Amino acid sequence: MKTTPTPSFMLEPAYEPLLSPNKDAGTSRDAIGLGQAAGQGLNTRHGTILTLEDISVSFDGFKALNDLNLYIGVGELRCIIGPNGAGKTTLMDVITGKTRPSHGKAWFGETLDLTQMSEVQIAQAGIGRKFQKPTVFEALSVFENLELAQKTDKSVWASLRARLSGEQQDRIAQVLDTIRLTTSMHRPAGLLSHGQKQFLEIGMLLVQDPQLLLLDEPVAGMTDAETEFTAELFKSLAGKHSLMVVEHDMGFVGTIADHVTVLHQGSVLAEGSLEEVQADERVIEVYLGR
Ligand SMILES: Nc1ncnc2c1ncn2[C@@H]1O[C@H](COP(=O)(O)OP(=O)(O)OP(=O)(O)O)[C@@H](O)[C@H]1O
Ligand SMILES: [Mg+2]
- Measure Cα distances from 49 to 44, 58, 68, 107, 273 in Å: 6, 25, 17, 8, 20
**67 alpha-carbon distance from chain centroid:** 23
With vertex at residue 102, the alpha carbon angle to CA 100 and CA 108, rounded to the nearest 5 degrees, is: 50
Closest residue to atom 29 of ligand 1, CA basis: 85
Within a domain: residue 83? yes
Phi–psi pair at 30, nearest 5 degrees = -60, -30
Distance 216 CA to ligand 2 centre (A): 7
Residue 164 lies in a domain: no
Ligand that comes closest to the CA of residue 100: 1
Residue closest by Cα to atom 26 of ligand 1: 84
Mean pLDDT of the chain: 84
Over the stretch 278-288, which tens digit does the pLDDT of each residue have?
999 999 998 87
The predicted structure's pLDDT at residue 289 = 63
d(CA 246, CA 72): 14
Residue 31 CA to ligand 1 center (angstroms) comes to 18
User: What mean pLDDT comes out for the span 103-131?
Assistant: 93
Cβ pair 254, 261 in contact under 8 A: no
- Assign 23 a pLDDT band (cuts: 50, 70, 90): very low
Rounded to the nearest whole angstrom, what is the distance from the C-alpha of residue 80 to the centroid of ligand 1? 15
Considering only 19-23, 95-99, 102-106, 179-183, which range has the smallest mean pLDDT? 19-23
Q: Which of 55, 79, 88, 91 to mutate for ligand 1's pocket (most ligand atoms within 8 Å of CB)?
A: 88
- Residue 57: inside a domain: yes
Rounded Cα–Cα distance for residues 276 and 32 (Å) = 34
Domain that holds residue 94: 29-133+212-288
Confidence of residue 134 (pLDDT cuts 50, 70, 90): confident
Ligand nearest to the CA of 263: 1
What is the CA(142)–ligand 1 centre distance, in A? 32
Q: Evaluate whether residue 23 is within a structural domain.
A: no
Residue 144 lies in a domain: no
Do the domain assignments include residue 201? no
Q: Kindly report the protein residue whose alpha carbon is nearest to atom 3 of ligand 1.
A: 59
Q: Which atom of ligand 1 is found nearest the CA of 266? A: 14
Query: Which among 59, 131, 249, 268 is the best mutation to test ligand 1's pocket, defined by most ligand atoms within 8 Å of the CB?
Result: 59
Q: Which of 60, 70, 90, 95 gets mutated to test ligand 1 (max ligand atoms within 8 A of its CB)?
A: 90
Q: How many structural domains is the chain composed of?
A: 1
pLDDT of residue 167: 83
**Residue 32 DSSP label:** G
Give the position, in ligand 1's atom list, of the atom nearest the Cα of 83: 25
145-172: average pLDDT: 75
Residues touching ligand 1 (Cβ under 6 Å) are: 59, 64, 82, 84-90
200: in domain: no
Give the burial class of 66: count Cβ atoms within 10 A of its Cβ; 0-12 exposed, 13-18 middle, 19 or more buried. middle
Q: Is residue 181 part of a domain?
A: no
CATH code of the domain in which 128 resides: 3.40.50.300
- Among protein residues, the one with the nearest Cα to ligand 1's atom 30 is 85
Task: State the distance from the centre of ligand 2 to the C-alpha of 236, rounded, in angstroms.
Answer: 25
pLDDT in tens, 255-277: 998 899 999 999 999 999 999 99
